[in-house]
């Protein structure tokens, strides 16, 4: 290396160091003001706590009640502000705009200062003179940071992204928006987007707030009303754009969306765990995050049905099946009512009972109709007696112990999960599915429900059926607790004497500990733990991987978004739901007549071109019209394909017992070891669900960097590198077929190895 080269490198280093010092001075100023703001918020919180105090006893005066209200309001808002300031400490300032001030003027006059500087961050910070030190990324004044391009600069000369560790600036990356920068303007780095794309992936999704591109920003800031659909192939940033849109909506209309709530729905628990830090990192902690398996209170489902059973359960035809099921008589319930009332023997036979049940259920939800049923029974009984005063007969009938016992057995309060379990009886299932499902579909349905009853685990597809039944039969009406006698209170007050630990009454079903001490040995008891409540209603619903939702799942979401605006994210080429037309009809029904708008993402930011070209070739062969985005980055490393000539594990009941299966494990482990040396971040082994158990041992390689999962669990996730095992089995064993394989092949950012069996 020549002395002139050394001199050039030293000069470049000095330039970067000088720029870092300039930015550090401003960042230090911001954090100093942040500390001041935090102290002010703490003082306001203390002042609030001091309000409303009184030394008097007895009833409070109106002015004292007002003081208590003011106290609560001050404490709440101050604590919230302090929490916001504290949680945004990391990476608070991430951007800077250098703008041509004269280009921004609208009065035709040039100002003395032709340069304006704006710093962009996760929240707005002002100094004591109320001058902005940092502009919130969602504010209109920050939009040029995302909208500026060399062809349409929006007055921007230079866009700079600051890389920080805590409050220390460690790097800058510049994008120049004009052909020739001013002589005193320094341009550093290769561009923020390229730097972001080449970084390693961690166990959770990162926000892209510093590198949002123009077309992404348009989707983020789209009008709130109606339905906003974001489409695009793998790696185009659809998910993270949608999450930033949720944060933007909260900023733009906080009263509506924080009060009404925003629901974010993803395909799996692994997906929600992956994205759960994105919104908090943007300053928003009020969003409700759910997978499709835990949208219903007291139900958390991660088990997936075989494709055939899932197709039956998700079909819109299940609406007719469940409608009939909800009107069925309670299995093993009494067939008639025999009672002696007011000196008269009366009998209400099975035919009359069936007529009463049918008549009541035409106009009432089952769990809310107990009073109506009692009236119908009383009328049927009264018609059998003569010369008896109606009022006295009704009093005697309504309070009769035999009648009460009969009513509890013939018309009990029904948990919708209990009703769904009735489908495990082949006779019941055949009766309610007659003319709707084929004989083979009925068997799939019965076998699936029996599997739930045997394992104590609902499937993800079951959750939508439980929700539908809840809407049909109503919530369980809790009976008021009877007052305990004095002797009971005296006996039960000393709980410790009986080895009983007192439970806090505020615990809900979701908060109850899940350890062995709370796990019933009876699988059915585990299925019925907790109580199913009324679905919450939201102001905005965000649905990711929307192409996978079944019609029944769309109906479940529709109940939560009757008055909501929507953001919907998807890619048809990655769909695992077989009937797109049926799903589209259910989706449109959920949306209602609201205005539609769509944004299409065409650039693949995730996958290296070598990885995506391999995946694109696979999907094009089967789905010629697949949405294929443009991958913008190359690594120069092709996809490795390794073939293992051993019997496939799917030929055996236990994959681990397949002949020479250990050879497969060894080759996959070797591939993982190679990738651990080549990339710095996360690695996934993606294989059919049946291969997960024998390969799970590989998750111990590389500390916590290696994950073993099936294609469904991999949806929406990204890794530095992947090993895709047995692609033929992925196609044959998953509902999406080759589309599920396409998902597996597009999870890697930098490297991919494919192991064929």
Q: What is the DSSP letter of 748?
A: E
Question: Is it the case that residue 197 has pLDDT exceeding 60?
Answer: yes
Flag whether pLDDT at 616 surpasses 90: yes
State the pLDDT at residue 483: 47
**Gap between the Cα atoms of 462 and 452, Å rounded:** 9
Compare 342 and 457 and report the one with higher pLDDT: 457
How much is the pTM? 0.82
d(CA 364, CA 358): 10
Are the C-beta atoms of 507 and 514 separated by less than 8 Å? no
The answer on pLDDT for 485 being more than 50 is: no
Residue-wise pLDDT tens digits, 103-121: 655 544 444 457 899 999 9
Q: Pick 214-283+537-604's CATH classification: 3.90.1150.10, 3.40.50.300, 3.30.300.30, 3.40.50.150.
A: 3.40.50.300
In this predicted structure, the answer to whether residue 546 has a pLDDT above a threshold of 70 is yes
Query: What pLDDT score does 179 carry?
Result: 81
Mean pLDDT computed over 584-596:
94
Q: What is the pLDDT of residue 181?
A: 78
Query: What's the pLDDT score for residue 661?
Result: 74
Express as a percent the part of the chain with pLDDT over 90.
Answer: 63
**Cα separation of 531 and 550, whole Å?**
25
What's the pLDDT at 516? 39
Give the separation between CA 36 and CA 633, rounded to whole angstroms: 44
Q: Residue 287 in contact with residue 443, Cβ under 8 Å?
A: no
Task: Give phi and psi for 133, each to the nearest 5.
Answer: -90, -35
Q: Please give the average per-residue pLDDT across 565-579, as a whole number.
A: 94
What is the rounded distance in angstroms from the CA atom of residue 599 to the CA atom of residue 570?
11
Domain 620-756: CATH class, spelled out = alpha beta
Q: Are 633 and 619 in contact (CB under 8 A)?
A: no
First to last CA, the chain: 50
Q: Do domains 214-283+537-604 and 620-756 have the same CATH topology?
A: yes
Among 101-105, 498-502, 640-644, the range with the most confident prediction by mean pLDDT is 640-644
- How many Cα neighbours within 13 Å face the side chain of 42? 8
Dihedral angle at the C-alpha atoms of 673, 676, 682, 685, nearest 10 degrees? -20
* Interatomic CA distance for residues 220 and 246, integer angstroms: 8
Supply the DSSP symbol for 542: E
HEC letters along 111-157: CCCCEEEEEEECCCEECCCCCEEEEECCCHHHHHHHHCCCCCCCCEE
152 with 48: CB under 8 angstroms? no
Between β-strands 93-100 and 115-121, what pairing exists: parallel, antiparallel or unpaired?
Answer: antiparallel
| Cα–Cα distance for residue pair 138/253, rounded to 1 Å | 12
- 108/703: higher pLDDT: 703
Residue with the larger pLDDT of the pair 378 and 56: 378
- Mean pLDDT (the chain) is 85
Q: What is the mean pLDDT of residues 381-405?
A: 93
Question: pLDDT band at 87, cuts 50/70/90?
Answer: low
Mean pLDDT of 453-470: 97
pLDDT at position 405: 96
Query: How does residue 521 score in pLDDT terms, banded at 50, 70 and 90?
Result: confident
pLDDT for residue 187: 85
Element (H, E) at 643: strand 640-643
pLDDT digits (tens, 9 = 90+) for 659-670: 467 889 999 999
pLDDT value of position 313: 97
With a cut of 90, say whether residue 444 has pLDDT above it.
Answer: yes
Domain boundaries in the chain? 15-189, 214-283+537-604, 335-413, 620-756
pLDDT at position 206: 75
The DSSP bridge pattern shows strands 706-709 and 227-232 to be unpaired
Find out whether 665 and 698 touch, Cβ atoms under 8 Å: yes
pLDDT digits (tens, 9 = 90+) for 234-283: 999 999 999 999 999 999 999 999 999 999 999 999 899 889 888 888 87
pLDDT at 686 over 80: yes
pLDDT recorded at residue 69: 45
The helix (run of H) or strand (run of E) holding residue 676 is helix 661-678
């Amino acid at each position: 290396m020549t002395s002139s080269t050394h001199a050039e490198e030293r000069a470049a280093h000095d330039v970067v160091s000088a720029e870092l010092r300039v930015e550090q001075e401003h960042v230090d100023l911001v954090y100093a003001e942040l500390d001041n703001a935090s102290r002010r918020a703490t003082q306001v919180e203390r002042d609030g706590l001091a309000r409303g105090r009184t030394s008097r006893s007895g009833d409070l005066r109106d002015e004292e009640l007002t003081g208590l209200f003011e106290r609560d309001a001050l404490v709440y808002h101050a604590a919230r502000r302090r929490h916001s300031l504290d949680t945004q400490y990391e990476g608070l300032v991430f951007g800077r705009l250098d703008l041509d001030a004269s280009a921004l003027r609208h009065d035709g006059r040039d100002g003395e200062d032709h340069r304006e500087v704006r710093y962009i961050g996760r929240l707005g910070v002002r100094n004591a003179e109320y001058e902005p030190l940092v502009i919130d990324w969602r504010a209109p004044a920050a939009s040029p940071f995302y909208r500026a391009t060399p062809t349409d600069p929006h007055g921007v000369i230079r866009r700079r992204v600051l890389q920080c560790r805590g409050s220390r600036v460690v790097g800058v990356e510049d994008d120049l928006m004009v052909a020739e920068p001013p002589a005193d303007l320094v341009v550093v780095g290769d561009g923020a987007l390229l730097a972001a794309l080449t970084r390693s992936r961690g166990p959770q999704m990162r926000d892209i707030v510093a590198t949002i591109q123009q077309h992404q920003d348009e989707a983020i800031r789209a009008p709130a009303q109606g339905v906003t659909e974001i489409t695009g192939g793998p790696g185009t940033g659809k998910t993270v754009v949608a999450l930033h849109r949720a944060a933007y909506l909260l900023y733009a209309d906080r009263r509506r969306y924080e009060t009404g709530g925003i629901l974010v729905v993803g395909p799996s628990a692994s997906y929600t765990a992956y994205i759960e830090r994105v919104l908090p990192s943007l300053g928003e902690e009020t969003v409700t995050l759910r997978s499709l398996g835990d949208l219903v209170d007291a139900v958390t489902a991660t088990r997936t049905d075989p494709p055939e059973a899932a197709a039956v359960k998700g079909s819109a035809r299940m609406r007719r099946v469940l409608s009939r099921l909800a009107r069925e008589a309670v299995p093993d319930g009494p067939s008639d009512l025999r009672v002696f009332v007011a000196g008269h023997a009366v009998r209400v036979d099975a035919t009359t009972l069936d007529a009463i049940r049918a008549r009541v259920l035409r106009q009432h939800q089952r769990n809310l109709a107990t009073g109506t049923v009692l009236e119908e029974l009383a009328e049927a009984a009264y018609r059998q007696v003569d010369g008896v005063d109606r009022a006295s007969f009704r009093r005697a009938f309504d309070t009769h112990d035999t009648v009460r016992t009969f009513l509890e057995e013939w018309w009990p309060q029904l948990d919708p999960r209990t009703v769904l379990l009735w489908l495990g009886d082949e006779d019941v299932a055949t009766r309610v599915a007659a003319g709707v499902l084929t004989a083979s579909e009925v068997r799939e349905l019965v076998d699936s429900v029996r599997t739930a009853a045997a394992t104590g685990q609902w499937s993800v597809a079951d959750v939508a059926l439980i929700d539908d039944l809840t809407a049909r039969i109503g919530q369980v009406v809790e009976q008021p607790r009877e007052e305990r006698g004095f002797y009971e209170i005296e006996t039960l007050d000393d709980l410790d004497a009986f080895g009983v630990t007192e439970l806090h009454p505020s615990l809900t079903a979701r908060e109850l500990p899940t350890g062995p001490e709370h796990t019933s040995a009876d699988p059915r008891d585990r299925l019925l733990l907790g109580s199913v409540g009324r679905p919450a209603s939201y102001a905005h619903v965000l649905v990711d991987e929307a192409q996978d939702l079944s019609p029944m799942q769309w109906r479940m979401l529709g109940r939560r978004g009757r008055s909501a605006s929507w953001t919907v994210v998807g890619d048809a080429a990655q769909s695992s739901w077989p009937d797109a037309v049926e799903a589209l009809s259910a989706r449109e029904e959920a949306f209602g007549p609201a205005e539609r708008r769509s944004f299409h993402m065409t650039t693949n930011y995730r996958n290296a071109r070598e990885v995506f070209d391999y995946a694109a070739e696979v999907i094009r062969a089967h789905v010629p019209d697949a949405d294929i985005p443009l991958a913008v980055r190359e690594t120069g490393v092709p996809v490795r394909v390794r073939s293992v000539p051993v019997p496939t594990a799917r030929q055996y009941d236990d994959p681990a017992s397949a002949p020479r299966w250990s050879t497969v494990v060894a080759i996959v482990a070797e591939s993982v070891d190679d990738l651990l040396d080549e990339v710095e971040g996360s690695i996934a082994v993606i294989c059919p669900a049946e291969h997960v158990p024998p390969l799970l041992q590989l998750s111990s390689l590389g500390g916590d960097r290696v994950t073993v999962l099936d294609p469904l669990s991999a949806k929406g996730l990204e890794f530095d590198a992947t090993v895709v095992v047995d692609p033929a089995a992925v196609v044959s064993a998953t509902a999406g077929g080759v589309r599920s394989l396409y998902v597996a092949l597009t999870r890697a950012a930098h490297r991919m190895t494919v192991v064929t069996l």
